Amino acid sequence: MLSKKKAKPVAPIAATVVGVVLLGLLWVLVGAKPNPSDNADSPLLGQPAPAVVTTTLEDKPFDLSRRKGSWVVLNFFNSTCVPCRIEHPLLLTFAQNQLSTDNPAEIYTVINDDDDSAVLAFFAENKGDWQKIRDNDGTIAVAFGVAKVPETWIVDPNGYVRLRIAGQLSEGLLDEQMSMLKVQFGS
């Protein structure tokens, strides 16, 4: 019988290395924790808001810089987007509550890729008497970095961006955040 040369133990070493890598991958994937916070990050937070110069649905001019002195809430909206329709009653409640504060926030709906007529029809049916402003070639959306609707932004009376909520609003969230911001940044 011919002598057998001792082969180097390649298989166990290679198997261990591959096994460790794969187990690490599995562990990472299974253990991923969803991001709990509602408030999204943005490089615009704490910066002056981008210029917003456009027209409202009533064909009147709108300029964000001329709204200084009030808190401004911008809600990016599309009449066919389901979360936008679901959160609409919360916006109505918010608008109502603001009327009883001493510096009520102004709400503006920024129309994102939608027909004027569809938006008018939606608001006729679901109420909401604040101004709706046009964003025809998406300039405002790009300036704020809004890709998906709904998104809600809050701008303070000095024109600085203070909050970004990406996604559907949850109950009471907007009221709570607005009160916190008013306390933090004075009226």
Partner 1 sequence: MLRVWNLSLLVSTFSLTILGTFLTRSGVLNSVHAFSESAIGPWLLAFFAIIVIVSIGLIGWRGDRLHAPGSIDSVVSRAGAFLINNVLFALFAFVVLLGTVFPLVVEALQSRSIVVGAPFFDQLVAPIGIALLTIMAIAPVLPWRKASAELLSTRLFWPAWCGIGALGISVALGATGFMPLLTFALGGFASGSALRQVVLATRKQGLRGLVGRTNGGMIVHVGVILIAVALAASNSFTHSQELFLKTGTPAYFSGHSFELIEIVEETTDRAISVKALISIDGGKAYAPAITKYTKVGMNIGTPSVKTGILGDIYLTLEPPVKQDSGEAHIKVFIKPLLVWLWIGGFLMAIGTLLAAFPGRRRKPTDATSALIGSNDVE
Partner 2 sequence: MAAIASALLIFGGLRDSGPRSQQDRIDAITLRLACPTCQGESVYVSRASAAEAIRAEVARQVGSGLRTDDETIAYIEQRFGSQVLLLPRSSGIDSLVWVLPIVALICGAVALGVVFKNWRTADDGAASAEDSALVDAAMDLDK
Contact set with partner 1 (CB under 8 A): 7, 9-12, 14-16, 18-19, 22, 25-26, 28-32, 34-35, 78-80, 113-114, 118
Q: Residues 6 or more apart from 141 whose CB is under 8 A from it?
A: 76, 110, 112, 135, 147
Angle between helices 82-99 and 173-185 (to 10 degrees): 50
Q: Which does 86 bind (CB under 5 to 8 A by kind): partner 2, partner 1, none?
A: none
Per rule CB under 8 A, is residue 113 in the interface with partner 2? yes
**Distance, first Cα to last Cα, the chain:** 96
Per rule CB under 8 A, is residue 48 in the interface with partner 2? no
- Closer CB to partner 2, 52 or 141, in the complex: 141
Closest residue by Cα to residue 106 from 83, 132, 125, 87: 132
- Closer CB to partner 2, 90 or 133, in the complex: 133
Q: How many residues are there in the chain?
A: 187
Stretch that binds partner 2, among 41-49, 52-60, 69-77, 79-87 (CB under 8 A): 41-49
Per rule CB under 8 A, is residue 3 in the interface with partner 2? yes
Closest residue by Cα to residue 111 from 57, 160, 159, 172: 57
Which residues sit at the interface with partner 2, rule CB under 8 A? Answer: 1-3, 5, 41, 43-44, 112-113, 137-139, 141-145, 147-148
